[in-house]
A and B are shown apart, each in its own frame.
Chain A
Amino acid sequence: MGIYILRRSLYALALLFVISLVVFVLFASLPFDPASLTCGKNCTADVIEANRIRLGYDLPLWEQYLKFLQGIVSGREYGHGVAAFSCPAPALGYSFFKQECVTSLLITALPPTIWLALGSVTLWVGTGVLLGIWAARRRGGAPDHIINVLTVFATSMPTFLTGQMALTFLIGKFGLIPPPDYYEPYQDFPKFFMTMLLPWIILALPGLAIYARLTRGFVLETGSEDFVRTARAKGLPEKTILWRHTLRPALSPLTTLAAMDLAFMLGGAVVTEKIFSIPGLGRLTIQSVIEYDLPVIVGTTMLAATFIVVANLIVDILYSVIDPRVRLK
């Protein structure tokens, strides 16, 4: 088992290395001159050249990448003379637009995204599964039809639309909910909760609908298995059959899916964070794309990739625990 975990971890590290190389080369080959982008006004050829040297873009690409990797391990120095400063390891670069080390920007943006992701994933998985079970138990009945219609409606409404409408009407026009802001939960929990409630709901709606439909399908499918029929023949109560025998196998694939969804969400929910002024990774990414802030784009991409790779690693390890045959493959 230990060797398996070590092997998978090494694969994950190698994958991250390849991703970092691809992302770095990809952005380096974009038709933008980073030195010009940070030039601003009073832009002359001399200023652009000075910027190029200051930012290290005068170096060959392989050397820039090497410095990038070195920065991750040992940090990096920037600036000149008494105005010199450093980004401590793991340094993913420095944003001259935001005047902050990329790692520090990521650390600041990560908690809001984590809270947003945790809240919305919990909401959509929890509610979605419950609705799915309810619909399955009332198959063909009114609740099933209602949930079916609602889930189609929820999946067909894009987040940018529901978010903008909620902001405009519930907050802007009628003032029913406090305006968007972000509070750390340990600083002011009631305000944190009130300002996150709407983003959680808006972000959860499409996922909730999908999980409800999936759960309904899995429960119905498992319900027709032989072992469930046997349980029913033994005279077990319906509740026991549902919670002990039907749900456990039905929910296994949903658990994997939820873990992957959570990992994906941790990369940032761009639209929701933008509409509701949540200073998370999604907004940081989109802002950096607008500004062509390449070091931050590379940093956010690397972080999102890391979440996916780590989530895959955890799922793989869990699978190996559940099914030892996986370890042998």
Chain B
Amino acid sequence: MARKKLGVKISAVLAVSALLVSACSSSSTDDGKGGTVTYLTHAEKFLHLDPQRNYTGQDLAFSVTYLTRSLVSYNTAEGAAGTELVADLATDTGTPSEDLKTWTFTLRDGVTFEDGSPITCAEVAYGVSRSYAADLTDGPAFAEAFLDIEGGAAAYPGPYEATAEQQALFDQAVECSEDGKTITFHLNTPMADFNYTTALLTFSPVPLDEGGNVGEAYDQNIVSSGPYKIDSYTPGKSLNLVRNENWNPDSDDFRKALPDKVVVKFAQDEKGIDEYIINGTGPGKTALSLDGIYPDNLEAVFSSADMENRRLNDYDIYVTYTAINVSKMTCLPIRQAVFYATDREALRALGGGSQFGGDFADGVIKPATLPTDYKAVTGYEDAKPEGNAEKAIELMNQAKTECPDEYKRVTTEGITRDYVDSDVSRQGFAITQEALAKAGIKLEANFIDGGSYYGVILNPETQGDLSAAGWGPDWLNASTVIPPLFIENGGFDVSRAQYDPKYEEFKALVDAAKANPDRASQGEQWAALNQFVMDQMWVLPGLFTKTQYHWGSNLTGVYLWAPYGCPGFNDIGVKK
């Protein structure tokens, strides 16, 4: 899942997926029933509330908590407990077949939409089918990737345009029982953790008539299956949620539905938000900022005794890195020289230093997020935070002999790094350019506007030698990290690892890990593959990033919800 772009807070971070573990500070929780909880954001609206298009960590967490139920969900608890999978619309967390290619879920009794109409497997299947529709952009493509439709996504255009034959292909892959209670997914590959995929809202129900707002229009008019429903939604102004009288608490094991009303105020001035919360003015006492803390205010918030119980600073789900385009940078010693030469300490200082920016990453698997799959990467102990120019020069001398053509290109024409255009990334470029120059590497920058960035770096013809990137797993398994980043057509394979001579060896190891039903040994396989990635230097690891939030003095129950790397909305209530 993607990380929402926080213009001023995060500059060169691009993230496309999601998950985490870790403890964090929290305020004390009373029962918190009643009142109005207000969320403040500078954004004009939620990127998407349409469940099949929603793929941003915090937006997903918000929707899951208040509006949209899925087959399974995550436990709403602080720390590692928050990453446990729990049954939601389904009676359990799913039953796989022996070969792991078929998964079955049985729906609970008494689950309904906000109009009181029952949710059956037909509505769940319909929801999944919408994720194939080309008109509904931005959502995750896991259904397309895993469902066993002959011909794949090309054979099924989604429910709006499908012919009867095309629809039959989908209906074979997603079977709905006659009593409407059981839904069965037939997969094209064995998957031991497919049930984690179904925690994404891709697998949540949508009424067959989409509440009269078909296609794009559904995004702003979703039909709720959760404890609240939309009273009014005016992008650029506010989203007001009121209690959904047709939500049956007996059918829901974990949603607490504490406040009577939930208000999201959009288009708020970023500095103004902090002032309200810090000083308790305006809506500040019962408000939480969805944008985190304005960078200029971090020191003040974390040094204030008054804010002690209403702030958090913890690891989110993301890893930042620089993807090395192996199709252009084929010489391993040069790739390693770039890594050794980089002044990581100076770059981290730009992002808030160790206190707010995060820890130096040693690969793409984050220990706080994926402890089962993490093992410290070895072999780079001589890398220094401020850069090791001597080692980099040594590697460049090695490259001069081993790959003279590329050496010549790198030292004369130079290499290009893709950046999301921002003041911070321009400063970052200056730091890196100076650091690489010490090893004789000439660096140029390609600053790209945020809206076009993905399109440029995902296109092999327009991508540079290095590209700023970031990633977080979609669920707690490195199967949502290593394959999408390094397998050809994996989704975000901007390192173009398929051009490395060792790619076939790597791919075979990935296939073996994916098919391994034993989670513990699978974790060891992912750790070994993370080491493989770093041995081949397909990425320059950046940071295991942190996030910060603060909230008003009258809110209770705020903590970081590990799976989404944002506040756990379910426990947020108002003090009596």
Contacts and interface: CB of A to CB of B under 8 A. Distances in A.
A319 B48 CA distance: 52
A186 interface: no
A126 to B, nearest CB: 28
Contacts of A42: 138-141, 491
A258 B135 CA distance: 46
A39 B135 CA distance: 10
A98 B16 contact: no
Contact of A51 (B137, B214, B272, B491): B137
A294 to B, nearest CB: 11
Interface string B245-286: 000000000000000000001111101101110011111000
A79 B136 CA distance: 10
Contacts of A279: 234, 236-237, 267
Contacts of B234: 279
B501 interface: no
Nearest to B489: A44
Chain A: interface residue count, which band? 35 or more
B140 to A, nearest CB: 7
Contacts of A287: 44, 236
A43 B454 contact: yes
Interface in A162-183: 164, 167-168, 171-175, 178-182
Interface string B538-555: 000000000000000000
Nearest to B213: A85
Contact of B135 (A40, A48, A54): A54
A99 to B, nearest CB: 5
B454 A41 contact: yes
A182 B238 CA distance: 10
Interface in A238-295: 274-277, 279, 283-284, 287, 291-292
A136 to B, nearest CB: 39
A235 to B, nearest CB: 58
B138, B219, B236: most-surrounded residue (chain A CB, <10 A): B236
A41 B2 contact: yes
Interface string B211-223: 0001111011000
A167 B269 contact: yes
A306 B510 CA distance: 60
Contact of B216 (A99, A167, A173): A99
B275 A171 contact: yes
B451 interface: yes
Contacts of B491: 42
Contact of A83 (B160, B266, B283): B160
Nearest to A35: B455
B271 A171 contact: no
Chain B: interface residue count, which band? 35 or more
A99 B271 contact: no
B61 to A, nearest CB: 18
Contacts of B139: 42
A283 B236 contact: yes
B239 to A, nearest CB: 13
B275 A36 contact: no
Contact of B217 (A39, A99, A181): A99
A50 to B, nearest CB: 5
A290 B100 CA distance: 46
A96 B266 CA distance: 19
B133 interface: yes
Interface of A: 32-33, 36-45, 47-48, 50-51, 54, 79-85, 96, 98-99, 164, 167-168, 171-175, 178-182, 274-277, 279, 283-284, 287, 291-292
16 contacts: A40-B454, A41-B2, A42-B140, A43-B454, A45-B459, A51-B134, A79-B216, A81-B161, A82-B159, A167-B271, A168-B272, A168-B275, A174-B279, A175-B279, A178-B282, A277-B269
In order of increasing CB-CB distance, the 4 nearest A-B pairs are: A172-B275, A83-B215, A179-B282, A36-B455
